[in-house]
């Protein structure tokens, strides 16, 4: 069975090099390599989240996979990592692990009109 590790921040493919340079764990969409034979896979998650678009790309890849996907939350699956966790056909969580989902958050700078437009988001 193929095992895929989702560890550290969820980052874009273009930002992955920075974490490699610092020798820090991170997960980018290009790190999720799925078997060509559609065999069962196990996804281990311990991530506080990160880039929502990278998380969405990983979720979509896992959800589209033709084989069986078992997700195991072994530490924390927060924010963007919680979205990835929902891609499993089966989702398991350790009794000592956590799943954290939150409302959308964003930042904005500029004049009051931009702030009001962002508020409507």
For residue 87, count other CB atoms closer than 10 A to its CB. Answer: 19
Residue 115 has pLDDT above 80, yes or no: no
Q: How many CA atoms lie within 13 A of 50 on its CB side?
A: 24
- Is residue 10 within 8 A of residue 54, CB to CB? The reply is yes
Residue 111 has pLDDT above 70, yes or no: yes
The pLDDT assigned to 118 comes to: 57
Instruction: Give residue-wise pLDDT tens across range 15-49.
Output: 999 999 999 999 999 999 999 999 999 999 999 99
Residue range 2-120, CATH number:
3.90.226.10
Statement: residue 3 has pLDDT above 80: yes
Residue range 44-94, pLDDT digits in tens: 999 999 999 999 999 999 999 999 999 999 999 999 999 999 999 999 999
Give bridge partners of residue 44 from the DSSP assignment: 5, 72
Q: How confident is the model at residue 121 (pLDDT cuts 50, 70, 90)?
A: low
């Amino acid at each position: 069975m193929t095992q895929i590790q989702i560890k550290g921040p969820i980052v874009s493919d273009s930002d992955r090099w920075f974490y490699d340079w610092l020798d820090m764990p991170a997960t980018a969409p290009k790190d999720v390599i799925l078997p060509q034979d559609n065999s069962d896979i196990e996804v281990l998650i311990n991530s506080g989240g990160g880039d929502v678009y990278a998380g969405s790309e990983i979720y979509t890849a896992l959800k589209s996979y033709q084989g069986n996907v078992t997700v195991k939350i072994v530490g924390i699956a927060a924010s963007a990592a919680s979205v990835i966790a929902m891609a499993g056909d089966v989702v398991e969580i350790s009794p000592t692990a956590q799943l954290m989902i939150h409302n959308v958050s964003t930042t904005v700078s500029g004049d009051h009109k931009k702030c009001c437009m962002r508020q409507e988001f």
